[in-house]
Amino acid sequence: MGLESIGISQIVNKNVKVIDQEQDVFGASKVMIDNNIGSVVIIDNNESKNPVGIITERDVVRVVSTFSLSDLEVPIRKLMSYPLITLSQNASVLDAMKLMYERKIRRVIILEGTALVGIVTEHDMFKLLMSNKELITTVISADFPIPQKELYDDFSHFWFSNSFYK
């Protein structure tokens, strides 16, 4: 069994927190703090709930460190990362790993058509690998599509980070 045969739907987190694009940084930050999460998906409105962007902890730090206080009250749509980088719920874990490596991102939004299904983070992938150690051999093989140095760096970061022990 390889990563290409494991569907992303097996590790997707379906409990995605969303906010309307008209809310501000304070609203997004509160959702992240209240739910102990690192990102919030931005939706166009509360009726259609189409995902249009994302804001992460890193984005909030950037906003706080570079903008004036009045900028903190602008609609989140002006500060969010967009367009969203997404995958179909029919994608594999390997598809997600390659996409995250190529785009230098830590999370991927999973869609069914245009509807939000969930989110997958690099942490979710490392948990999968750690719980299925036979998969690690496929990741460290010479023909794996992600360079070994980046994989070792990511494994080290994951293994020694505080989030591993939570």
Residues of the domain holding 140: 3-161
Asked whether residue 120 is assigned to any structural domain, the reply reads yes
Q: What percent of the chain has pLDDT over 70?
A: 89
Tell which residue, 7, 45, 5, 145, has the closest CA to residue 18: 45
- 7 within domain boundaries: yes
Cβ neighbors of 9 (< 8 A, separation 6 or more) are 89, 90, 110, 117
The model's pLDDT over 3-28, given as tens digits with 9 standing for 90+, comes to: 888 999 999 999 999 999 999 998 99
- On whether residue 166 sits in a domain, the answer given is no
Q: Please give the model's pTM, rounded to 2 decimal places.
A: 0.83
pLDDT digits (tens, 9 = 90+) for 106-122: 999 999 998 999 999 98
CATH number of 107's domain: 3.10.580.10
Residues 6+ away with beta carbon under 8 Å from 143? none
| Residue-level length of the chain | 166
Per-residue pLDDT tens for 123-159? 898 888 888 878 877 777 767 777 777 776 776 666 6
3-state SS class at 15: coil
The whole-number pLDDT of residue 147 equals 74
Report yes or no on 46 lying in a domain: yes
Q: Please answer whether residues 94 and 138 qualify as being in contact, where contact means their C-beta atoms are separated by less than 8 angstroms.
A: no
User: Is 156 inside a domain boundary?
Assistant: yes
- Counted domains in the chain: 1
